[in-house]
Amino acid sequence: MIDYKSLRKIDPLLFNILQAEVRRQSDGLELIASENYVSTAVLEALGTVFTNKYSEGYPGKRYYGGQENTDQIETIAIERAKTLFKCDHANVQPLSGAIANTAVYFSWLEPGDTVLGMRLDHGGHLTHGSPVTKLAKLFNFVRYGIDTETGDIDYNQLRDIALKNQPKLILVGYSAYTRDIDYGFVKSVADEVGAVAWADIAHIAGLVAAGEMRNPFDYGFQIVSTTTHKTLRGPRGGMILTKGVVSNPLKNVEKKVENLPTLIDRTVFPGLQGGPLMNIIFAKAVAFQEALQPEFKEYAKQVMRNAKVLAQELTNLGFKLVTGGTENHMMIIDAIASFGLSGGELEVLLDKIGLTASKSMVPDDTRSPFDPSGLRIGTPAITTRGMKEDSMLQIAKWIRHVVDIRHDERQIQLLRDEVREYVRNFPLPS
């Protein structure tokens, strides 16, 4: 392992902050559904000399010399990604999930074109058409939501809006939704209106790769975008995968048919990005190798088992969960409906005892996104630390207990000590 001797010497201020962050991560528990702890191998891969290298272009076609090693690592990352997700094209260069999604829009659409995506306040992502994004100024987003009675995506509404608005892209995927997706139905709607079907699986990528949740490509989806750092447990970054060669007649240049994989590659570079971060691509390749191992399948199963137990125990203890439970790695507590606390208040309370979570909107939330009604929690990171069902019962009890003692700082401090003591048995993997 790196001993950070040089960092300590050159920049003690930052070294101290690093140490504090290591302490924060190891003394508490990460319940943010979109975070995870990378392995030592991934962490080592991030801190390599590949960070020194410019590699604009793609393997075999670069704009700088000295690419004999970078070409190999990017090719390996691509091949592993294709195997993991059962597809035939992968672009591993996007710097983030938001950039990956932006690249998909620019690959396939002209300004003003219509996209059907999920409402942010019903669980979609900012980049799926939220009016606050620059994307929403360029493209015409129409949005579906969930059926608040059933908690499921309102598939009938999705189809009605698609038929009415004839989108060129239909996008499914979410940041705060606890069910799997009926990709078969969505693809049939996309076929009906001649749209390309696209899934953003950022949250569930690891669960899809492990075969524990549906793979959109099995249902004919043409595009999948994702981040690599959530359930997939790699370095922070994005990726775009495609299957099949769909050509876009609108994008024909000099009578050459432009197909989807080519358009995506050209949009990522040189369309949006310059040099890819090769140390990150190196680390992505390492994470993909880890995800291909049988142990990763067991990990994904445990993430989902843990989520079910945690959701059930929270419910037993009086918390109200959006959709009543979970089919994936996350759950959303309706904090207002449960105990009259806002999501923000519960987040702060949990922080005080070393449990990190993120406030979240609940469907049709009447509160502001800065202090919404819900709190989202997830099990990917705590499962990486080796926690199993019995720890989920313990965590649920802590969450309930801190609500009860919220006005008693001394008791909160005692509970903080108890959490710190307990998590010592579950060291960080790296």
The C-alpha angle with vertex 273 and arms to 92 and 244, in degrees rounded to 5, equals 45
97 binds ligand DSN (CB under 6 A): yes
User: Which of 175, 326 has the CB closer to ligand DSN?
Assistant: 175
User: Which of 195, 377 has the CB closer to ligand DSN?
Assistant: 377
* CA nearest to 116, candidates 159, 81, 84: 159
Contact of 361 with 373, CB cutoff 8 Å? yes
Min. distance of Cβ 307 from ligand DSN in angstroms?
Answer: 15
Min. distance of Cβ 125 from ligand DSN in angstroms?
Answer: 6
For residue 234 the two structure tokens come to: 């790699």
User: Which of 161, 280 has the CB closer to ligand DSN?
Assistant: 280
Query: How many residues make contact with ligand DSN (CB under 6 A)?
Result: 5
Provide the H-helix boundaries in 115-212: 135-138, 155-165, 183-193, 205-209
Give the residues across from 362 on adjacent strands: none
178 binds ligand DSN (CB under 6 A): no
Q: Residue 94: count other Cβ atoms within 10 Å of its Cβ.
A: 28
175 binds ligand DSN (CB under 6 A): yes
Min. distance of Cβ 385 from ligand DSN in angstroms?
Answer: 19
* Residue closest to ligand DSN when measured from CB atoms: 34
Min. distance of Cβ 178 from ligand DSN in angstroms?
Answer: 13
DSSP helix/strand/coil, 8: helix
Known catalytic residues are 54, 56, 200, 227, 230, 236
Contacts of 385-391 spanning 24+ positions with Cβ under 8 A: 385/29, 385/37, 385/423, 385/426, 385/427, 385/428, 385/429, 386/426, 387/306, 387/426, 388/302, 388/305, 388/306, 389/305, 389/306, 389/309, 391/306, 391/426
Min. distance of Cβ 368 from ligand DSN in angstroms?
Answer: 18
User: Which of 153, 190 has the CB closer to ligand DSN?
Assistant: 153
Q: Determine whether 31 is exposed, middle or buried from the number of CB atoms within 10 Å of its CB (0-12, 13-18, 19+).
A: buried
Min. distance of Cβ 33 from ligand DSN in angstroms?
Answer: 7
Of the candidate residues 30, 34, 206, 290, the single one contacting ligand DSN (CB under 6 A): 34
What part of residues 187-206 is at the interface with ligand DSN (CB under 6 A)?
A: 202
Region class of 199: left (phi > 0), else alpha (psi between -120 and 50), else beta:
beta
User: Which of 34, 114 has the CB closer to ligand DSN?
Assistant: 34
Min. distance of Cβ 361 from ligand DSN in angstroms?
Answer: 12
Q: Determine whether 376 is exposed, middle or buried from the number of CB atoms within 10 Å of its CB (0-12, 13-18, 19+).
A: buried
234 binds ligand DSN (CB under 6 A): no
User: Which of 39, 228 has the CB closer to ligand DSN?
Assistant: 228
DSSP helix/strand/coil, 51: helix
359 binds ligand DSN (CB under 6 A): no
Gyration radius (Cα) of the chain, Å:
22
User: Which of 89, 125 has the CB closer to ligand DSN?
Assistant: 125
What part of residues 103-132 is at the interface with ligand DSN (CB under 6 A)?
A: 125
Contact of 136 with 163, CB cutoff 8 Å? no
For residue 149 the two structure tokens come to: 């009675």
Q: Determine whether 319 is exposed, middle or buried from the number of CB atoms within 10 Å of its CB (0-12, 13-18, 19+).
A: buried
User: Which of 175, 231 has the CB closer to ligand DSN?
Assistant: 175
Compute the distance between CA of residue 371 and CA of residue 361 in angstroms, rounded to an integer: 8
Min. distance of Cβ 174 from ligand DSN in angstroms?
Answer: 8
What part of residues 125-164 is at the interface with ligand DSN (CB under 6 A)?
A: 125
- The site for ligand DSN (CB under 6 A) is made up of 34, 97, 125, 175, 202
